[in-house]
Amino acid sequence: MAFIIPLAISAATALGSAATAVGTAGAGLASAAGSGIAGVAGASAPAWMGYASLGASALGGVTGAVGAYQQGQAEAGAARYNAALAKENAAVAQQNAVIASQSGEQQAAMQEQRTRATVGAIKAGQAASGIDVSTGSAVDVRSSAAELGELDALTVRSNAAREAFGYTQQAAGMKAQSALDEYQAETAATAGEIGAASTLLGGVGSAASKYYAYKLQGGFGG
């Protein structure tokens, strides 16, 4: 229904010029009537009054239609902007999720390396002290250190996974918001077009109603 707007703008320009001309002519006729040039009471109503009323109704319908269409387009534009922004934010959040996962893996790998280094240092220290590194408490000490190091690595991975999941949830929410904004954009544009058509048709209907009413009063020469 976008064809309504160019047509409405052209009609508004033409009707505006016509209304100005009719108003000027009407003022002259009204002045003449006041000077006694008009017909006696009960004569047909002047045609210019009818034309002026019809022009005002039609012009009101056209301008109202243009306003309704433009409002719908403005709301649709704002909704589309919000949809695009939500998409960008969703992409950023998804990228952050990937970064958090990769960072967590790197930190966990570094922790595992530190653990191996710690266990190796313990074993070297035990051997230097003359302790049998293959049995008894020496093995237990190294096992405890290894387990603690592995626990640290698991904690790092868990924290990274939690952070990545949070970003993933943000991305999902933003994608949903983007879809909603796009739907609102379509709805606003359609509502603007429907409102423009309805207003324009209302103006035409009002003009037609006034035409027939004025006809019954003897306007338009009959």
* pLDDT-above-70 percentage for the chain: 61
- Residue range 180-195: average pLDDT? 82
What pLDDT sits at residue 204? 63
Half-sphere exposure at residue 219, Cβ-oriented, CA atoms within 13 angstroms: 18
Question: What is the percent of the chain where pLDDT is above 90?
Answer: 23
* Strand locations in 79-166 (E): none
pTM across the whole model: 0.54
Number of domains in the chain: 1
Question: Which domain range does residue 64 map to?
Answer: 4-221
If one compares 8 and 116, the residue with the highest pLDDT of the two is: 116
Q: To 10 degrees, what angle do helices 47-128 and 136-216 make? A: 180
Contact (CB, 8 A) for 111 and 149: yes
Q: Is the pLDDT of residue 159 over 90?
A: yes
In this structure, of 10-14, 46-50, 61-65, 84-88, the range with the lowest mean pLDDT score is 10-14
pLDDT at 19 over 80: no
Q: Which of 17-31, 88-102, 130-144 has the lowest mean pLDDT?
A: 17-31
CB-side exposure of 198: number of CA atoms within 13 Å? 8
